Structure 1
Amino acid sequence: MTRIEAHLRRRALNLCEPVLQHTLAACSGDTSFPLHITPLSFYFASPIQVIASAGWSWCLGSAALGSVYKAASLLNSSQGNPLQRPGPLSWRPRGQDSSRCFRMSEEVEVLSGNTLSEDVEKVVEKISNTTVEFRVPRVNCPEHIILVVDVCHEVGNTPYRLADGSKFSALYMVKRALTLFLQNKHAIDARHKFALVLLHNIPVWISDFTSDPQKIISDLELAEERPATTHCDLSLVFELIAHQISLPKCSNPSVVPPPYMYRTILIYGRSHCLPQFLHGKELFSHLIQSPHFVLDVLYTHESPSDNNKCEGIFDLLCGLDEGGWSYVLEVSRNATKLHNYFGTLLAHPFQRPVQKDLSYTLVPKD
């Protein structure tokens, strides 16, 4: 690292502050965050979120990020990028002192009606008690990101309500947040590619891999809500993915970075339908065991109650993280948190910390 790069890196770390929340709150119409910002030392998900300028750091969102991308790429150019991604500790399955805490967005009392299956408990306990070692070099190689978007609309679904009183469906808000994610991810590294899968009764591969985010955004805008189904077969999802991709092969994956890696982001939005593997987990296991494949999950749901299965669904989604590499996030009808979580997912899987090591604690400057 040159002296200039080291200076810029230190300056960014000294000046950056958690203004991503303010920007995303503004994008989502939430005015609960104050607009006054004070300088704080804070480790961001990605340098793309930071602009160091005259003692202040401003996150400008997708509309005005162009001026920071050169600085961001410079900060992100060397291995072992210190701008590690912070993120929320979401839910913790009951009885576990691990990374995921079942904390509902609307301050709803946690219900204890659903219980973890034995298989899920074993996986969560294994992850909680294991120190995860990185299987690959911490290098930001190009990502091939598969977006799996659930389009089911269940009877009685409540909309997102913004600060100005306007209401929008869950799918509309997911589209909005995904648009920002695609634009910002492409701006971070134009080599990233994206594919789109819509999930209803069966998964449908809508858009093949492209480095043009506008193509995915256009196809996503055409997606419409569909009536809910009685089941969700994840076997079909990973079978489709396995037949569409070709995992890179490296002679020494722990030392040599791959030419690219795959990440699937599953956006699941049902509160009454438990996802299952009805046709076995062979292909899922084949993918998840590869050091060059990562699965992240964002669960958007209703407030939990006796009338839905939110807790049980989340427990099952946590069980998909068999190696401790995934991010499994949840959000109820909170537009700000939805946008924040997509900001969390911007960071490269090879450079981010494991979820159980994350914290949103603000550390003031010394």
Structure 2
Amino acid sequence: MADNISVSSSISNASVLSFDFNAQDIHPSCPEKIVFCIDVSEDVSITTVKSKDRGDLPLFTVWKNALTQFVFNKSMMGKHEFALMILTDKANWFCDFSSDPQLVSDALTSLENVQEKYDSFDTSSIFSAIYENCPPPSVCVGSSMSPPPFIVRVIILYGRSHCLPVYRGESEAHSELMASPHFFLDVLYSHDPPTGHNVCQSIFDILSEIYPKPKALVLDWSANLVKLYNFFAKLLAHPLQRPVQSMMDNRLISQKT
């Protein structure tokens, strides 16, 4: 068997990158505390997704269905816990942690969007809520090779095409979470096709900088149902074991496909 095992991933017709597993750090798996931050603005009820069997579905409904499937699939991979936050003009804690996928599914089913547009969204409120409700475990000196008792992962679902996220100042919560090796943040951005009448590209750029670390994933999705479920399949991977974002295509999708 060859010493170096690599997998080539086609990023575009013009470029191919090679991923060398031997060049990556090897980390053990450990339980995850996963917090879904779900946009409940009017946008996610107006935006629709075409379905072969059920016609046009509100984005909000599609999100909840995909999250439910994610929770059941992830629960089969270990003893993970899930909590919910909702995004209005800021992040609000909605449902505390549970390792029971049916209870999480019921909470998702009960979630409703607020039918309101927002002029801004405060991204710093996410860090504050996480730090208050589920700070990651501290790092023990001399035990960097040992797995932590758990990691904290935030998955943001943002569905606005006209509302720029803003960061309202540095905070202890932000500093502590950014410095922790046991905290991760992923983003799934769903939006209208970018035009001169919206700010999708600017929103995508801001979301990409919220947590600018190699192990973060910022996934961009524009109304393709199959791609949405493929993205959630990518998110099943444990953050300590998956490849870095640079091995994936993270360009803004310019049109519905």
In which range does the TM-score fall when normalised by the shorter chain?
0.7 to 0.9
1:315 and 2:205 equivalent?
A: yes
Alignment partner of 1:351 out of 220, 237, 241: 241
Q: Which residue of 1 aligns with 2:47?
A: 158
* Kept after mapping to 2: 8 A contact 1:87/1:355: no
Matched, 1:143 2:5: no
Cα distance in structure 1, aligned partners of 2:10 and 2:108: 27
1:199 and 1:87 map into 2 onto residues whose CA distance is 34
SS at match of 2:76: helix
**If the length of structure 1 is used for normalisation, what is the TM-score?**
0.59
**Structure 2 partner of 1:293:** 183
The Cα of 1:284 is off from its aligned counterpart by 2.0
* CA deviation map 1:197-232 (0-9, x unaligned): 111123221111111121121111111122121110
Q: What do you get for the CA RMSD once the two structures are aligned? A: 2.8
Deviations 1:9-35 (A, max 9, x none): xxxxxxxxxxxxxxxxxxxxxxxxxxx
- After superposition, residues 4-19 of structure 1 pair within 5 angstroms as none
Select the residue among 324, 342, 350 that pairs with 2:232: 342
Matches within 5 A, 1:97-136: 134=25
CA deviation vs aligned residue, 1:167-220 (integer Å, no higher than 9, x gap): 11111000010011000000111x111111111123221111111121121111
Distance 1:155 1:263 in 2: 23
Cα deviation, residue 280, structure 1: 3.0
CA contact (8 A) 2:160 2:190 kept: yes
Q: CA deviation at 1:341?
A: 0.3
Asked if residue 239 in structure 1 is aligned to residue 124 in structure 2, the reply is: no
Give the match's secondary structure for 2:192: coil
CA distance in 1, matches of 2:48, 2:176: 37
1:199 to 80, 87, 111: 87
- SS state of the match for residue 237, structure 1? helix
Runs of 4 or more above 4 Å deviation: 86-90
8 Å contact kept, 1:141–1:260? yes
**Distance change >3 Å, CA 155–CA 223, structure 1 → 2:** closer
1:279 Cα deviation from its structure 2 partner = 3.8
2:103 matched to 1:215? yes
Q: Which has the higher contact order (CA 8 A, sep 6+)?
A: 1
Q: In the aligned structure 1, how far is the partner of 2:101 from the partner of 2:190?
A: 23
Do the aligned partners of 1:263 and 1:296 also contact (CA within 8 Å) in 2? yes
Query: What runs of 5+ residues in structure 2 fail to find an aligned partner?
Result: 18-22, 250-257
Distance 1:89 1:148 in 2: 28
State the alpha-carbon separation in 2 of the partners of residues 288 and 89 from structure 1. 29
Aligned to 2:66: 177
Q: Displacement, 1:262?
A: 0.7
Provide the secondary structure at the position in 2 that maps to 1:138. Answer: coil
- Whether 2:118 is the aligned partner of 1:252: answer no
How far does residue 324 in structure 1 lie from its aligned partner after superposition?
A: 1.5
Query: Equivalent pairs: percent with the same residue?
Result: 38
Q: How many residues align?
A: 236
Write the distance in 2 (CA, Å) between the matches of 1:282 and 1:210.
27
Is 2:38–2:86's contact at 8 Å kept on the other side of the alignment? yes
Whether the 8 Å contact between 2:49 and 2:223 is mirrored in structure 1 is yes
CA contact (8 A) 1:288 1:295 kept: no
Task: Write the letter of the residue equivalent to 2:32.
Answer: E
Consecutive unaligned residues in structure 1, runs of 5 or more: 1-81, 91-96, 100-131, 360-366
